[in-house]
Chain A
């Protein structure tokens, strides 16, 4: 299990694979790891990312338009694993591309690529029977989302089936940056903590060193997504790896 947060708070870096292109995503991921990201969350682009805000929607649209497929993302994961054996690697996807490949096939290929875990944003614990069996069979960590709206009974169920870490959504809403980490987060993490010893990573709206420090006060790791994707959108393929590396170094402090 390579999902480990050595320095608190840890950093989980989300990247939409294939934006601006797969080669660039590879360089960006390496730069993120080399500058202090503990875990790379490699996003499978999808045509209908309904939990995402405009920044990741646009990135997803660009990557799909370029023809980025789930098989390409798995191949990229394999390259990243070979290049940086000790970094955490989580595949992030909406369900449909995974269902189309077949849950068994997907988990086998994810394991073969060297991924540590998988996060499916529209998979809830009640529906996860076959998914969990396939994940266990392939020694992959299922990462589930916990929301501020989840009552304790759901948090308990989420904590019980999660491995690697639990992803706590900092606020009710879609992905995207904001000024302050919402006040929902500390309370959610405290509630979640009652049910698990796993690391808890907080995401949604984290974009500055101050946000990351604030998350460090009450959680184990911060997930940075839209802020990185927006930076990549701004710089384009050429400057993206350097810019993301610098950004991670800054938030790492």
Chain B
């Protein structure tokens, strides 16, 4: 990969670096707010009362711990490693996103901010944020690309029902990246009164660290559950990677366990050509280190540094950059990143639905597809854990259109 693009001098840099990646590349107007946020987050992290309230709500409002489910029929069908599903899809609002939205919502309240903004791709982060705002009695504005609003109309309705204002974004490809631009414009304008609940492990420091910390609970639980059930750690963990929040949550507590393989699955979209996918770590026509939306990470872009358009059947993976911690894990080889096409994800959706009666979100289906591919190549004594990041109810519209084409 290109090394000429390195722009950082880590010795001088602010905190929030993952190797060369991360940092803070934002308009000056936001700097004071990011510093305030960093200080508030550091204080909250050390505050037992804050953590106790978060734990209580995660348990009694969101439904943690989520089960670790042995997918017996899927395992039998694949004929190899035992496949377990970490059931984040069973959380309140139907995806892992609530872990982070709740954490940041409590932080916003602690900071005395009552106007909340957020961006959303698939709508799951928007729904989670709208839910938390309702719970805490806060004003909520959600930015969403118009293309994503069309793809995920059910979630748009859910957000509005919860009392949030959903603002459509027509610029660019009208997807997640454009929604983040618009949320950042709002934040730049209203920074004195507004808290921005960023929805993935990306953006300027401290967001990648903070969002990861709020999702660590996934791997903390999974580790204990796996030891209890199997008496050993999993051979491999598979998770889908858009911005990368569910994946970093599922990986984090296993980073030190070098014999546990960590596999991130990106959106392979319609194919490997730039513009047809969102596979930032793909070798040819993939991403190059650069700066997008506040952080230094792999970015899908043309040779002149213009950010490329992306495509994925799943709105939540349809993003041109990736969280900086994943960029580091990729470069160091601690995690490997593969991709899965739209078609394979749709097929995996059907397979999981019919073998286990579990309808995965299209995002999660990318991880399921990789597990289905991988399990037969592994021994029966191996254990494969899939982080099932969300449920597929939101995707009914798109599934009914896409699967009709496929003759299902």
Contact = CB atoms under 8 A, between A and B. Distances in A.
Interface of A: 46-51, 53, 57, 61, 64, 69-71, 94-103, 105, 121-124, 126-127, 129-131, 144-151, 154, 158, 169, 172-174
The residue in A48, A51, A70, A158 that gathers the most chain B C-beta atoms within 10 A of its C-beta is A48
Contact of A146 (B28, B172, B189, B293): B28
B29 A169 contact: yes
B95 interface: no
Nearest to A94: B291
A126 B303 contact: no
A149 B305 contact: no
Interface string B377-394: 000000000000000000
Interface string B1-40: 0001101110111100000000111111111110000000
Interface string B174-199: 00010011001100111110000000
Interface string B340-381: 000000000000000000000000000000000000000000
B306 A129 contact: no
Contacts of A64: 306
A51 B303 contact: no
Contact of A126 (B14, B291, B304): B14
Interface in B292-314: 292-294, 296, 299, 301, 303-307
A95 B8 CA distance: 12
A129 B27 contact: no
Contacts of B7: 95, 99, 103, 127, 130-131
B304 A70 contact: yes
Contacts, number: 140
B102 interface: no
Nearest to A64: B306
Given A97-B304, A147-B29, A150-B32, A172 B291 contact: no
Nearest to A167: B28
B149 interface: no
Interface string B102-118: 00000000000000000
Contact of A129 (B9, B30, B303): B9
Contacts of A174: 185, 188-189
A47 B28 contact: no
Contacts of B292: 48, 96
Given A127-B13, A172-B188, A174-B185, A47 B24 contact: no
B243 to A, nearest CB: 15
Contact of A48 (B5, B11, B172): B172
B171 interface: yes
Contacts of A95: 7, 25, 290-291
Contact of B13 (A123, A129, A173): A129
Nearest to B29: A147
21 contacts: A46-B305, A48-B172, A50-B180, A50-B293, A64-B306, A69-B304, A70-B304, A70-B305, A96-B299, A99-B291, A99-B296, A100-B5, A100-B305, A126-B24, A146-B28, A147-B31, A149-B30, A150-B28, A150-B31, A173-B29, A174-B185
